[in-house]
Amino acid sequence: AEVGDRLEQVTCTDPFDIVLQPIMGGPEHRTLIGREALARWRDPQLGDVPPDVFVPVAEQLGLITTLGEAVLRRACREAAGLRATGEEDEVDLFVNVSPAQLRDPGFAGVVRDALATTGLPPARLRLEVTETELVDEGPATAETLEALREAGIRLCVDDFGTGYASLATLLRLPVDCVKLDRSLVAGLGESEAAERQLAAVMSLVRSLGIEDIVAEGVETEQQAIALLELGCPLAQGWFYGRPCPSTDALVGRHLLE
Ligand code: G
Ligand code: G
Ligand code: MN
Ligand code: NA
């Protein structure tokens, strides 16, 4: 209740920060191919409130479209700033969106405007939606997804392997990329069963024509090596880099290489 009260007071003042986490690909997963934007809220009264807490509250209170728009615009601005260094032509920005944003008929317009305002090319933006949330998408959502695709923006299914969406959803929607939930990564390098499971999910995703597969939550070198051996093209997690402010991301890029 306290979080909700504060959110109602402050959402319109845009108190959210974002941090960026690297997503790696290429040989040995040494190339920076993208960054995921994650929202952060440090409130003077409540202290740090994690998105696991404030995103669901914002959804319940009908504030998520406002909050999500602020985060999206901010993330595009920071990604455009990093691109301005001239070294990031191919680096994508991944932004999480809630189902309520996709249901909002104005959303595709907001996204196009955020890109036009910041100069970030549509082809560099990938929106992440969790698997579970895509299951019961209605006609408004389908229309939004189509408009986004026409604008050249790509769609990722997040937390794949935990929900119920699976094949039917992937076949029906214009999905370009699948992010494998970190529960699928946890046992890699320790259990053969975990490796077989990951290989099976990857082959299923590929059989649907989706080549961009990101393993999430990679924390150890053991897991990173197993992913290379299994041929997973993209990887993200603390092993490669923690989420950090964009000023640090600029420095971190050189450390990654
Ligand atoms: O960094 P982490 O603890 O920050 O994120 C926790 C959860 O919150 C993840 O599921 C992540 O996808 C979600 N999340 C983080 N930022 C945003 C955001 O801007 N919008 C939405 N909808 N979810 C977010
Ligand atoms: O649901 P989504 O995949 O958007 O969530 C991203 C969340 O995962 C954020 O909370 C982020 O801080 C967290 N995260 C990123 N890398 C790692 C990791 O290597 N291990 C764990 N446990 N969490 C991670
Ligand atoms: Mn995500
Ligand atoms: Na995820």
- Digit-coded pLDDT (tens) for 160-191: 987 666 677 788 888 999 999 999 999 999 99
Q: Can you point out the beta strands (E) in the chain? A: 16-25, 31-43, 47-49, 92-96, 125-130, 154-160, 177-180, 212-215, 234-236
**Which residue from 48, 96, 126 has its CB within 8 A of the most atoms of ligand 1, so it is best to mutate?**
96
| ipTM score for this prediction | 0.97
Q: What's the rounded Cα separation, in Å, for the pair 74 and 123?
A: 18
Nearest to 26 by CA among 181, 232, 185: 232
Query: What are the tokens at 14?
Result: 């845009």
Q: Which domains does the chain have, with CATH numbers?
A: 2-252 (3.20.20.450)
- Give 130's DSSP letter: E
Residues whose beta carbons lie less than 5 angstroms from ion ligand 4:
158-159, 216
Ligand 2 atom index nearest CA of 36: 4
Higher pLDDT, residue 218 or 174: 218
Nearest to 174 by CA among 193, 147, 146: 146
Calculate how far, in angstroms, residue 80's C-alpha sits from the geometric centre of ligand 3. Answer: 20
User: How deeply is 44 buried, as exposed, middle or buried, from its count of CB atoms within 10 A (0-12, 13-18, 19+)?
Assistant: exposed
**Which one of the ligands is nearest to 180 CA?**
4
Calculate how far, in angstroms, residue 79's C-alpha sits from the geometric centre of ligand 3. Answer: 16
Ligand 2 atom index nearest CA of 181: 3
- Ligand 1 contact via 22 beta carbon (within 6 Å): no
- Which pTM value belongs to this model? 0.96
Helices in 104-138 by DSSP H: which ranges?
107-118, 131-134
Higher pLDDT, residue 158 or 255: 158
pLDDT of amino acid 253: 58
Least confident range from 143-152, 173-182, 240-249: namely: 240-249
Calculate how far, in angstroms, residue 140's C-alpha sits from the geometric centre of ligand 4. Answer: 24
- Digit-coded pLDDT (tens) for 42-67: 999 999 999 999 999 999 999 999 99
Nearest to 26 by CA among 244, 240, 245: 240
- Angle of the 64-83 helix axis to the 246-256 helix axis, nearest 10: 50
